[in-house]
Structure 1
Amino acid sequence: MSALLAVNVETASANPKYAGIVVDAKTGKVLYSEDPDGLRYPASLTKMMTLYMTFEALESGRISLDSRVPVSANAAAEPPTKLGVRAGGSVTVEQAMQALITRSANDMATALAEYLGGSEARFAQLMTNKARALGMTRTTYRNANGLPNTAQMTTARDQARLGIALRQHFPQYYPYFSIRSFQFGKQTIGNHNRLIGTVRGVDGIKTGYTRASGFNLVTSAQADGRSIVGVVMGGTSGGARDAQMRKLVAAYMPKASTGGSSNLIAQTRSPAPPIAASVPVPVMAQNSPAVVAARDEVASLDLPNAGPLPSGRYSEKLPGAAAYASEPKAQRGAAALSAAMTRTAAVPTPAPAYMPPASIPEQTAENTDKVTTASTRQTSTPSGWVIQIGVSPTRDAAMGLLQSAQDKGGQVLRSAKPFAVAVANGSNQLYRARFGGFGDQKDAINACNALKKKGVACWAAMQ
């Protein structure tokens, strides 16, 4: 153990709120961790998920950067820090995003939640559903801004997953996290993140603080072909938190790999929250066979969270002291820490508040046979770059996903080869629905982007 790491651990042991992790963002290997799965309050790190949901809505075309976000009396009444827009006013989606990233504006987080989800409570449920889809198995959201709520919990590992997912899934919007300031009216609003522009390679992501949580920070850094995401939670002060992260970046960036695909977290199908003014979805539509089948679909997770879900975490009356209850220490050592992030697993996604109908087509002999035939014509599993569109509990269901994607994709998948890959999930098996036959990474990513525009969730990866 290096002298630097010894100092870090000693400091962490003296502070029961502390938790930290550094992950190689190209391979998923844990380079450093201290109580990575202990429950903590996220504070304003919550806004990372609010922004993830906003980016997703932008990418799907449901909103644009220029869309107007109304500010309700509820949003305007949120305590500082805030942008200070009066009730009845509005801002653009881009202004709200910038306010979250720089000033960590609580009023803008609530306004976005109400705009995208109809109510903040419903949006928080969608945030929790998304957390499960990303493999953040120990995270629960109750609001969109991170203001104190004893049931709103997370872990350092879960926040690392979210940081990686933001950069991996939304490269077109991720650069907002590196802005130093933005202009709002006559105000020039600076970024709370002091590491941007002062630590080589740091390109975001988010700070957070409440009295109960301590000082939190998620940091992404890229330099010399290496890439890491670090998390520090429970710092005793902003300065101490920043100093700890500087040490972690300096110590572990040189240890990160220059190889790897960076496609660590599957981008899964998720509910599309209606904009607040939309007509509610009928209950019958929410319980249709297609929707029920979609809810039972399992997410592919290549960067799993270790450990069981703690009971009682969903209780609104969870005592504040429980947030820092000690969990049994995981096996120590580099091998155990690496395995905790790199072994393959799958986590069920709970039923969302709303999911658009017809996510998965009815299985018929005709459409199943069409894909099965195409798949069995292959003499071996395709190698090279592939597109994954989902994971199912049975091969037939995986074939149904592939057929649905083919029907929607049309020419995009004309030369692609559909196949299902069986993977172990404890004593059971899951089936990854994939298309192969792409020449290189660019071809796979371009095809995936084209599929997304047709409503097919997917992600590109090296087989």
Structure 2
Amino acid sequence: MYGFSRFPGRTLFAFVTICFILVAAALIPAPAHAGGYSAIVLDADTGRVLHAHEADTLRYPASLTKMMTLYMAFDALKDGRLKLDQRITVSAHAAGQAPSAIGLRPGQTLTVRDAILAAVTKSANDATVALGEAIGGTESQFAAMMTRRAREIGMSSTTFRNASGLPNKGQKSTARDMATLARALLKNHSSHYAYFSTPEFEWNDRVFNNHNHLLKRYEGVDGIKTGYIRASGFNLVASAKRDGRRVIGVVFGGTSVTARDNRMIELLDTAFEKIDDTNAPVMAEKSDRHFALISSAEATTAKPPKQKQVKPAAEAKAGNNGEWAVQLGAFKQAASAEKLLDRVRGKLPAAEPLVDAVDAGKVTLYRARLTGLSQADAQSACQRFKREKLSCSVVSPDA
């Protein structure tokens, strides 16, 4: 056996230093998410900024990208290049998109209307890419068109590389640009904006619920889009109208769906309180500093919004309309949950992968779930996972 005495002094020092760095790196806790936190709230009518936190920092937009794809589709409907009942053909490229998806096949057709609804509710990447290809020929050509149009409506910092928001290092935007896009959708495509409030979409005997839970949770919210990829965290653009006044909020980088939604509720509440005070300064950023580290459990224990919240409608139907989930485990590291979901997502392509942080006393656990399922699909999936020696439990809508 060799001892340290065989190493020269400098070599020994370098060796010990490297070991120290490796051990220290292993002890550093994983971040709550890979993306940074940004937020902005606007008075939709005047454009006045009511709140901003790192609103011009470049982030990954994830499925907020679909807002721009839909803007382009609404442009095409307005000038006659598309019609709502027109059938578009699904390419192999579109059908091969990673979930979230509605399971389109190469050569299959669907109407423009259905593609729009699939993008709005299920955030379906296959339908979104098919829609983009119908406008631009190829997805890459369409992405270039998206970027040019984004510049024309004032999104000066945004670059698009695909139609869906699936991971691409070159696809970046900001909270301010996404608020600009939401405002442009309201102003320039008011006749189509109502699509964003669609509660559910039925396709091939399956019902997909809108991922924007604030449509049910917050009085006055009527759109518009959620987004998630690992590199961004959980994103949301929401618009709400009360007493004739409308605000637009953007949140990038939530640690979970619940934490993101609760933060948006806080921002909207404060915005409605301040919207009529033209002398009020932009809301302070102090309350934002620790947002990137809060778990979903911490978020749910925050004080409730002051305004009345809307109780979810038709709760009795929840067991049959895609609100069920399967849970495949809970881990001390978010990366472990993400790794498991990456491994199994191909086995259940219609489901939406979700890593949700929950307070478990002295530690935070990260639950690996596949969501957006019907009760029958969730039960069938769990049986299959158990046959493959995977831990699995069915999660009901009211669990």
Whether TM-score is above 0.5 comes out as yes
The 5-angstrom pairing of residues 276-425 of structure 1 reads: 334=282
Counterpart position of 2:152: 133
The 5-angstrom pairing of residues 41-190 of structure 1 reads: 41-190=60-209
The 5-angstrom pairing of residues 221-260 of structure 1 reads: 221-257=240-276
Counterpart position of 1:21: 40
CA offset digits 1:219-269 (Å, max 9, x no partner):
01111011100000011111100010011111112322499xxxxxxxxxx
Deviation at 1:27, TM superposition (A): 1.1
Write the distance in 1 (CA, Å) between the matches of 2:216 and 2:141. 37
Q: Verify the 8 A CA contact 1:19 1:38 in the aligned structure 2.
A: yes
Write the distance in 2 (CA, Å) between the matches of 1:15 and 1:93. 34
**Secondary structure, aligned partner of 1:253:** helix
CA offset digits 1:124-178 (Å, max 9, x no partner):
0000001100111100000000000000000000000000111111111000100
Structure number with the higher helix fraction is 2
Q: Verify the 8 A CA contact 1:179 1:191 in the aligned structure 2.
A: yes
AA in 1 matched with 2:59: R
AA in 2 matched with 1:229: I
Q: Which runs of 5+ in 1 are unaligned?
A: 1-13, 260-332, 338-463
Counterpart position of 2:58: 39
Write the distance in 1 (CA, Å) between the matches of 2:35 and 2:214. 24
AA in 2 matched with 1:27: T
Q: Verify the 8 A CA contact 2:51 2:283 in the aligned structure 1.
A: no
Q: Verify the 8 A CA contact 2:117 2:201 in the aligned structure 1.
A: yes
Write the distance in 2 (CA, Å) between the matches of 1:129 and 1:33. 26
RMSD (Å), alpha carbons: 2.1
Q: Verify the 8 A CA contact 2:35 2:233 in the aligned structure 1.
A: no
**Secondary structure, aligned partner of 2:115:** helix
**Secondary structure, aligned partner of 1:21:** strand
**Secondary structure, aligned partner of 2:251:** strand
Counterpart position of 1:417: none
Deviation at 1:185, TM superposition (A): 2.3
Counterpart position of 1:374: none
AA in 2 matched with 1:129: R
Q: Verify the 8 A CA contact 1:55 1:170 in the aligned structure 2.
A: yes
Q: Verify the 8 A CA contact 1:24 1:257 in the aligned structure 2.
A: no
**Secondary structure, aligned partner of 1:124:** helix
Write the distance in 2 (CA, Å) between the matches of 1:258 and 1:122. 45
Deviation at 1:69, TM superposition (A): 1.2
Counterpart position of 2:21: none
1:211 aligns with 2:230: yes
Write the distance in 2 (CA, Å) between the matches of 1:335 and 1:244. 14
**Secondary structure, aligned partner of 1:228:** strand
Deviation at 1:334, TM superposition (A): 3.4
Write the distance in 2 (CA, Å) between the matches of 1:223 and 1:162. 21
Q: Verify the 8 A CA contact 2:57 2:174 in the aligned structure 1.
A: yes
**Secondary structure, aligned partner of 1:196:** helix
Query: Structure 1 stretches (4+) deviating beyond 6 angstroms?
Result: none
The TM-score, its normalising length taken from structure 1, stands at 0.53
The TM-score, its normalising length taken from structure 2, stands at 0.61
Write the distance in 2 (CA, Å) between the matches of 1:34 and 1:335. 9
Write the distance in 1 (CA, Å) between the matches of 2:167 and 2:193. 27
Aligned length: 252
AA in 2 matched with 1:176: Y
Q: Verify the 8 A CA contact 1:82 1:107 in the aligned structure 2.
A: yes
Distance 1:115 1:244, change over 3 A: same
Distance 1:30 1:118, change over 3 A: same
